[in-house]
Amino acid sequence: MPDLPSLRRFSRSTQARARAFAQWVRAAFSRRSSMPSDPHSLLTELFSPDGRVRERALERITPGNADAAIWQAVLLRLNDWVPQVRAAAWQALQRLLPQWDLATALHALPALKALERGQRAYHGDALELVRQCMRRNLQGMDAAQRQPLHALVRRGAPAQAMFCFDALLDWALHVPGAQALAPVLTSGLAARQSAITRRAVQWVHKLPSPELRQSLYEQALRTPHIRTRLCALRALGATLAPTTSNTTWPDWLQAALHDTSPSVRYLAIQLCGGPGECLLAHATNTLQEFDATQRQRAAALGLLADLALPQGRPLALAALDDASVSVRRAAYAAAYRLQAQEADALTLRALQDPARAVFRVARLHTQRSGNAPTLEMLWPHMRGESAEHWLRLLQLSRLGDAWNHLIVLLSVPRAALGGQSHEAHVASLFRPLALRWLADVGLHCFVQPTDAQRQRIRALLPVAPLPQLFGRSKLFAFERVLKDLRLG
């Protein structure tokens, strides 16, 4: 057959149709056997642009002529755009799966998991076949051969970890006795996925030994997943005897009182009998301990905020000057919740804190409460040449009146913006705030500034670095706003 001429001058769809027709003609004139012995020719047909060729190739696949490349192509055909090819790929997969070993099944899991984003018709059935394959392979394994599966549960990819845990759990539940269940649950509680740890903690009650159950529940309390820790704490709380003295609290309950999650701390408070003097004394002792870690002191401040007792206000105020950023952040959060000081005073105090995380606590509280500081409160702090300080002022003023925000924006000194070499720095920090104000004023242009605000804006306009703040492209829009309001 003559070669195809150059197709560059045609569209891509015309080129694709021409190549598909040429391949079909070559296939029609070439002699092919009904059962090709060469797997490479079968693999070529699986990637043919003709759907009928792909369908016939899938029908000829058997466990005898399928290698790793062919079954990967079968997995790809499960997402084919032709329905007949998808059905043939599913039938080929049913013929191949019973012959797969465990390593091949694990290698195919990511491709089968991808069916959730593509063809869903055979997704559940394909995964069930993989489960059966893994269950059949697990029956003849010893403890040493199962160790790679435990490693995949702990540190494997999400799809592989979940399916390995499901297979190990299903095998352990059907093994006589409960000695095989403990290693599976231990690996499940050490997994990275919260779905695995949550499922593992729900099966701990099947273990016959109380000591082993408590050990696994305490391991679950150390996981980074909140819902897993809550399940473990509820299970441990069901076996806790009622008491009112903090000297008899078990170690796991004291650790739960210092948890970073408010939900876990709230449940631990309820297990201790609710807010009271014992919990207050426990939090106070933790804050006053010399060898207490930063995490423990921050959790103790969170416990004080959860107790909502007025005796915790002096402790929260005293921790505002702590050397640790995490402790100061927890102290500000507790001071806001306990109302240890006026909210505006706390916000202005956090404005001067060198740590951004501490100021973020104050800004979020101000945003949620809707009690933004006024311009008179911010005016004594509108000095200096630190870009970080002026950014904080702008973030606070943006929560209040739009014209007060403009006054703060126009008051930013040129030294805080820098020179020409800092143009990109200014564009990434200050310009988004200026353009956001311009968009807000365009939406709420019916709100007029007061006379005092007009006077301050007129006084600041001649000295304000307008090109650096708004940029050359948006400076005309800002001048139009000033002209409409007769401010220019």
DSSP result, 277-344: HHHHHHHHHHHH-TT--HHHHHHHHHHHHHHT-GGGHHHHHHGGG-S-HHHHHHHHHHHHHHT-S-HH
The verdict on residue 422 lying in a domain is yes
Each residue's pLDDT tens digit in the chain (488 positions)? 444 455 555 666 666 666 766 665 565 545 444 444 455 577 788 888 888 888 888 888 877 776 667 767 777 777 777 888 878 887 787 777 666 666 666 666 555 555 544 455 555 566 666 666 667 677 777 778 788 888 888 887 787 788 788 888 888 888 777 778 889 999 999 999 899 999 999 999 999 889 999 999 999 999 999 999 999 999 999 888 766 555 578 889 988 988 888 899 999 999 988 888 888 988 998 898 888 889 889 999 999 999 988 999 999 999 999 999 999 999 999 999 999 888 899 999 999 999 999 999 999 999 998 888 888 999 999 888 888 899 999 999 999 888 899 999 999 888 887 755 566 666 678 888 888 888 888 766 557 888 888 899 888 888 888 888 888 888 888 888 888 777 66
The verdict on residue 112 lying in a domain is no
The span from the CA of 177 to the CA of 400, in Å, is: 66
Amino acid occupying residue 118: G
Number of domains present in the structure of the chain:
2
**Angstrom distances, CA of residue 458 to CA of 170, 284, 379, 462, 464:** 76, 54, 17, 8, 10
> Could you tell me what percentage of the chain is helix, strand and coil, using 3-state DSSP and rounding each to the nearest 5?
70, 0, 30
The verdict on residue 32 lying in a domain is no
Regarding whether 362 and 257 lie in a shared domain, the answer is yes
- So what's the pLDDT on residue 185? 93
- So what's the pLDDT on residue 32? 42
Place of tokens 């792909």: 54
Q: Are 297 and 269 in contact (CB under 8 A)?
A: no
Q: Are 45 and 88 in contact (CB under 8 A)?
A: no
- So what's the pLDDT on residue 8? 58
Instruction: Specify the DSSP class assigned to residue 395.
Output: H
Regarding whether 448 and 408 lie in a shared domain, the answer is yes
> Residue 114: left if φ>0, alpha if ψ -120 to 50, beta else—which one?
alpha
The span from the CA of 370 to the CA of 363, in Å, is: 10
The verdict on residue 445 lying in a domain is yes
Regarding whether 255 and 366 lie in a shared domain, the answer is yes
- So what's the pLDDT on residue 450? 86
Domain edge (last residue) among 352, 371, 390: 371
Domain edge (last residue) among 343, 371, 399: 371
Q: Which residues contact 63 (CB under 8 A, 6 or more apart)?
A: 95, 96, 98, 99
- So what's the pLDDT on residue 107? 62
Burial code of 288-301, b = ≥16 C-beta within 10 A, e = fewer? eeeebeeebbbbbb
Domain edge (last residue) among 349, 371, 393: 371
Regarding whether 400 and 342 lie in a shared domain, the answer is no
Regarding whether 341 and 248 lie in a shared domain, the answer is yes
Regarding whether 421 and 362 lie in a shared domain, the answer is no
Q: Which residues contact 72 (CB under 8 A, 6 or more apart)?
A: 108, 111
Regarding whether 361 and 389 lie in a shared domain, the answer is no
- So what's the pLDDT on residue 315? 92
Regarding whether 354 and 279 lie in a shared domain, the answer is yes
Regarding whether 344 and 261 lie in a shared domain, the answer is yes
The verdict on residue 262 lying in a domain is yes
Q: Are 361 and 352 in contact (CB under 8 A)?
A: no
Number of neighbouring beta carbons within 10 Å of residue 321: 11
**Angstrom distances, CA of residue 273 to CA of 19, 253, 335:** 77, 12, 24
Q: Are 265 and 304 in contact (CB under 8 A)?
A: no
The verdict on residue 453 lying in a domain is yes
- So what's the pLDDT on residue 218? 93
Regarding whether 360 and 253 lie in a shared domain, the answer is yes
The verdict on residue 145 lying in a domain is no
The span from the CA of 257 to the CA of 300, in Å, is: 8
The span from the CA of 141 to the CA of 124, in Å, is: 26
The span from the CA of 461 to the CA of 228, in Å, is: 57
- So what's the pLDDT on residue 104? 63
Regarding whether 335 and 263 lie in a shared domain, the answer is yes
Regarding whether 326 and 392 lie in a shared domain, the answer is no
C-alpha 403: how far from chain center: 37
**Angstrom distances, CA of residue 416 to CA of 292, 382, 409, 485:** 40, 12, 12, 28
- So what's the pLDDT on residue 395? 92
The verdict on residue 179 lying in a domain is no
Domain range enclosing 401: 380-488
> Residue 401: left if φ>0, alpha if ψ -120 to 50, beta else—which one?
beta
- Reading the block at residue 61, the tokens are 């696949």
The span from the CA of 340 to the CA of 334, in Å, is: 8
- So what's the pLDDT on residue 101? 61
- So what's the pLDDT on residue 93? 75
- So what's the pLDDT on residue 105? 62
Q: What is the CATH number of the domain that holds 280?
A: 1.25.10.10
Q: Alpha-carbon Rg of the chain, whole angstroms?
A: 34
Note every long-range contact of 431-434, with CB atoms under 8 Å and residues 24 or more positions apart, other chains counting: 431/469, 431/470, 431/471, 433/391, 433/394, 433/395, 433/398, 433/409, 434/409, 434/469, 434/470, 434/474
